[in-house]
């Protein structure tokens, strides 16, 4: 089984060292360590780890702002470490899309569950985003096919099912998607109307 790759970001070297040791003991592969949020974002963009474990309070850019960037760019899930359990920080972390939260002092027994839950949540989020993308594409295709059917029905006196069958046949014959065929029909129709006017 491939080991999950981890980037650690904490401004305290001793905590990074302890974390590396705990993560290694648990079977994770630490691929990078940094001391501030900006470096964490840059390293994660470069290495594409499975997960980023990051302190909240760091110089330059705090862990929550760094987590927001990593989440928006869909780079990796983030588990935040903090010595603080203030509700304001927790709210900011939730808004940033953080999927895990561990309060210091860190115990090895807390790490694996937090990491595994974060990985699962991130995986679910990615799957939902793909599903939404597929649905949007299907809806767009349907709209284009309906529009192309209308053009064929008007221009060639076809029934709706005949127009649909014509688009389907063109799709198979040209090895293009129905969406591409519909777009071509619409473009040709608009071009011919442009030359008429």
Predicted confidence band of residue 196 (pLDDT cuts 50, 70, 90):
low
Q: Is the pLDDT of residue 45 over 70?
A: yes
What is the pTM (predicted TM-score) of this model? 0.70
Q: Report d(CA 77, CA 11) in Å as an integer.
A: 20
Here the tokens at position 116 are 């595994």
Here the tokens at position 21 are 């040791």
Q: Report d(CA 135, CA 114) in Å as an integer.
A: 32
Q: Report d(CA 173, CA 169) in Å as an integer.
A: 6
Domains located in the chain, CATH noted: 5-106 (3.40.50.2300), 131-196 (1.10.10.10)
Task: Read off the pLDDT of residues 149-173 as tens digits, 9 standing for 90 and up.
Answer: 999 999 999 999 999 999 999 999 9
The share of the chain scoring above pLDDT 70, in percent, equals 98
129 SS3 class: helix
Here the tokens at position 51 are 């997960």
pLDDT value at residue 1: 65
Here the tokens at position 181 are 């065929």
Task: Read off the pLDDT of residues 173-191 as tens digits, 9 standing for 90 and up.
Answer: 999 999 999 999 999 999 8
Considering Cα of 46, then 47, then 50, then 55, what sign does the dihedral take?
Answer: negative
Helix (H) or strand (E) holding 19: helix 13-25
* Unique residue bearing structure tokens 């630490």: 30
Task: Read off the pLDDT of residues 71-103 as tens digits, 9 standing for 90 and up.
Answer: 899 999 999 988 776 777 777 888 887 888 888
Task: Read off the pLDDT of residues 121-154 as tens digits, 9 standing for 90 and up.
Answer: 888 888 888 999 899 999 999 999 999 999 999 9
Predicted confidence band of residue 197 (pLDDT cuts 50, 70, 90):
low
What phi and psi, each to the nearest 5 degrees, are found at residue 61?
A: -140, 130
Q: Within 10 Å of residue 138's Cβ, how many Cβ atoms?
A: 11
């Amino acid at each position: 089984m491939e080991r999950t790759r981890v980037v650690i970001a904490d401004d305290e070297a001793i905590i990074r060292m302890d974390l590396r040791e705990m993560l290694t003991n648990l079977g994770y592969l630490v691929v990078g360590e940094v001391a501030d949020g900006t470096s964490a974002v840059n390293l994660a963009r470069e290495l594409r780890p499975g997960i980023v474990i990051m302190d909240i309070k760091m110089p330059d850019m705090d862990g929550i702002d760094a987590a927001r960037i990593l989440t928006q760019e869909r780079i990796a899930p983030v588990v935040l470490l903090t010595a603080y359990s203030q509700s304001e920080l927790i709210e900011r972390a939730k808004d940033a899309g953080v999927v895990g939260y561990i309060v210091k002092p860190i115990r090895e027994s807390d790490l694996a569950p937090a990491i595994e839950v974060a990985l699962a949540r991130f995986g679910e989020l990615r799957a939902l985003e793909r599903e939404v993308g597929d649905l949007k594409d299907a809806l767009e295709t349907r709209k284009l096919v309906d529009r192309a059917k209308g053009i064929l029905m008007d221009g060639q006196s076809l029934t709706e099912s005949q127009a649909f069958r014509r688009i389907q046949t063109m799709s198979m014959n040209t090895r293009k998607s129905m969406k591409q065929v519909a777009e071509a029909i619409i473009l040709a129709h608009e071009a011919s109307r442009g030359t008429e006017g």
